[in-house]
Amino acid sequence: MDASKSVQPVLETERLYLLPIARDHAADLHLACADPEVMRYVDFPASQTVQDTARRLDLFLVELPDWHATWVLSCKATARVIGFVNYHHRENCNWRLEVGFLLARAFWGRGLMREALQALLEYCFLGLAMNRVEVTVNPANKAAIRLIEGVGFRFEGGPLRGRQYVCGEYRDLLIYGLLRQEWTRSHALKHALLPDAVPQASAAPDTHNEKGGRRAA
């Protein structure tokens, strides 16, 4: 993907750039995608070779922003690519989508994914004007559960039995959801904004806007 022509913006946090994924990110992402510990709860198996990782990334490279989009996490300090975040199953008619995330093990526990996920949520709620963001997560994935609960997702149900099929086995998943109104409220509190400075749920998004902004439902 040529980032300069993409509708996907570059997102920025304190320590990271979130860049639209490109073919040449495969080698860096292979470190994470080949690690069975990282891939334990992910919906595709650990790669054996860089080619496996590249083939998997080919799916992410298909430009379909109405359905999915992926950003790699690039450390500002080192320019190293250490993981990715994405949205998928975007349904414009329902103003909802799902998000996913993955980080190389060497970088776990430093608050990096929390930073990246906050930036992605801001883009989903304000840039894409979504009303609802979902995550499905393996009940044993304590790190992911802690992460999503920490940014405001609420447990909504599960285990959803046999929801995921990976490496010949069906897996149960929990479902979590976050509504724009909830996110806006917590975001506003965090940044100590005055109530009248908080974007209203019905207002058109004004940052990171995709061409055309909010579409008629």
Ligand X SMILES: CC(C)(COP(=O)(O)OP(=O)(O)OC[C@H]1O[C@@H](n2cnc3c(N)ncnc32)[C@H](O)[C@@H]1OP(=O)(O)O)[C@@H](O)C(=O)NCCC(=O)NCCS
- For residue 77, the minimal CB distance to ligand X (Å) is 15
User: What angle do the packed helices 112-122 and 142-150 form, to 10 degrees?
Assistant: 50
Return the number of the residue (146 or 154) whose C-beta is nearest ligand X.
146
Nearer to ligand X, 29 or 42 (CB): 42
Question: Could you say which DSSP state residue 8 is in?
Answer: S
Query: Is the CB of 19 or the CB of 147 nearer to ligand X?
Result: 147
- Residue 124 beta carbon to ligand X: minimum distance, rounded to whole angstroms: 16
Task: Give alpha helix (H) positions in the chain.
Answer: 26-33, 36-39, 50-61, 112-122, 142-150, 180-190
Residue number with CB closer to ligand X (80 or 110): 110
Residues near ligand X (CB under 6 A): 38, 41-42, 100-103, 108-114, 137, 141-144, 146-147, 150
State in angstroms the smallest separation of the CB of 150 from ligand X. 4
- Closest approach of ligand X to the CB of residue 149, in Å: 8
Task: Name the 3-class secondary structure at 204.
Answer: coil
DSSP secondary structure code for residue 64 in this structure? B
| DSSP output for 116-128 | HHHHHHHIIIIIS
